[in-house]
Each structure stands twice: as structure tokens, then as C-alpha cells.
Amino acid sequence: MGNALFVVWRESLEAFLVVGILHAWLQANGRGSRGTRALAVGVGAGVALALLLGWALVAVQDELAGEALEAFQTGMLLVAAALITQMVLWMRRHGRQMRAQIHAELTAADARAGLAGVAVVAALAVAREGAETAIFLYGFAQESSLAELLAGAAAGFAAAAATAFAAARGLRRFDTGRLLRYSSILLLIIASALLVAAADRMIGAGWLPGIVDPLWDSAALIDDGTGAGKLLADFSGYRARPALSVVLVYAAYWIGVVLAWRRAGRP
């Protein structure tokens, strides 16, 4: 539940901020109520596209069984981990220029197709965030119950709405940029947990050798199957009895992320 809450909060917050940027541009350029209606249509279309993707993922799963289903679910864990990582690194490199980029896209779309173009830009922006969220939630669904997932997603959306409201009201000392930067680290930790879950599945299916399994046993200190240990395992990818190949995958991920993070931070 915690991972779903946090990821939905972050993705929804980005969507709220993008919609806020779009709305501010429309007001600054004298589009008034017609622009607001076009924006609402675009946002609605983007949400519908994201829901369609979620339905498609479930529909595909229902058609699969056995090894094919295992391969699909493992693949979606890998896709979710890759998307989270790519999103964080992209935001690190381009986050400061995001407003200018969106304004440029809006200006070009408005020049080509008027308010219909604005609606398309809004739809694509919201659909991108929503589609990523659908994939992330599908990945989390492999490790938790549907009830926990839905509760976490609903709480995350509500928290994002409250955060966006606080930012829009200009509450004293509220720094959205810093909040997004700090949350990026937590997102990378969640991505590494998804990657570990995928590696565990591949070892269980015989697609990845364990090499040395287990490499160690720390269950006496922190058991990853119950209580706080399970929360730690779900959030960070901790394993009390990891295979050597899982440790190597985890280490390779963080080495790659640290190098990419440093490159993305360069001007």
C-alpha cells in the first residue's frame, strides 16, 4: 500500500502541476472560459487514455496462463522499474525547464490548431502521467492485494491534490521543487525494489541462475516475511536470504543510477 500511495502521489502531483501550468498559460494569453473548457476536455481525454491502458493490461493478463503469464508479469515489473528510473532522471535534467517547454508546446499547438491543439497537449500530458501510473500499479499488484493497492492509490491521489492546493495557495515556506527532488530518491528506491522482485521471479522460473542461493541469511535480524521486515522488503527490495544474482542486479542498478544521476545534474 505504501509504495502505491507514494508513487500515485508523485505522479498525480506532477499531473496537477502540469495542468496548473497549462491553465496559467491559457489565462495569460486571454483564452478565458473557452480555453478552460478545452483544457478540461483534454484532461478528461488523458484520464480516459490512462484508464484504457489499465484495462488493456488486465485484459492481456486474463488471456495468459502458466509461463506466458509469468513472463508478462515479470516483464511489467521490469518496465515499471525502468519507467520510474527514466522519469526521475529526466526530471533531474529537464525539471527546471519544464514550464518553458510546456509553454513552447502550447504556443506551437495553438498556432496550428487553436484550442483543439491545446486540448491535445493537455490530453497527452495527462495521459503520459496516467499511463505511467497504470503500469506502476500493475507492477505493485504482483506483490500486494488489490484492496491495499486501491486504498494506497486513493490516498496518494488525495495527498497529491492537497499538495497541489497548498502549492497553488502559496503557503508559506512550501517548496514544491525541493519536495519533488527529495521524493525522487524514494522513487529510485522503489524502482530497485521492483527490479529485485523481477529478479526473484526470474530465478523462481529458472530464467536467471541464483549462482549462490542464499548468499547470506539475516532473517534472525530482520525477517522479510513479517511485520516491519516485510514493509522494508516491499519498499526497498531488502531480502533476508538473497541469491548472489539478485545482489549483483541490485548493485548494478545503483551503480548505473548514481552515474546517470551525476550526468543528469551537469549543465
In this predicted structure, what is the pLDDT of residue 176?
64
- With 70 as the cut, is the pLDDT of residue 42 above it? yes
**pTM for the model:** 0.83
Contact 85, 185 (CB under 8 A): no
Tens digits of residue pLDDT in 198-229 = 999 999 999 999 999 899 999 888 998 887 88
For the chain, the domains span 2-264
Measured between alpha carbons, how far is residue 64 from residues 69, 104, 172 in Å? 5, 43, 52
**Nearest CA to 10 among 206, 257, 141, 186?**
186
Contact 118, 22 (CB under 8 A): yes
Name the residue with higher pLDDT: 197 or 172.
197
Q: pLDDT band at 120, cuts 50/70/90? A: confident
74-78, 125-129, 227-231, range with greatest mean pLDDT? 74-78
Burial per residue of 209-239, b for 16 or more beta-carbon CB atoms within 10 angstroms, e otherwise: ebeeebbeeeeeeebbeeeebeebbbbbbbb
* Average pLDDT of the residues in 179-194: 86
- With 90 as the cut, is the pLDDT of residue 34 above it? no
Task: Give the three-class secondary structure for 204.
Answer: helix
Tell me how far apart the alpha carbons of residues 45 and 191 are, in angstroms, rounded to a whole number: 28
In this predicted structure, what is the pLDDT of residue 85?
93
Q: State the alpha helices, DSSP H only, in the chain.
A: 2-28, 32-62, 66-94, 98-113, 115-141, 146-168, 176-204, 227-236, 244-264
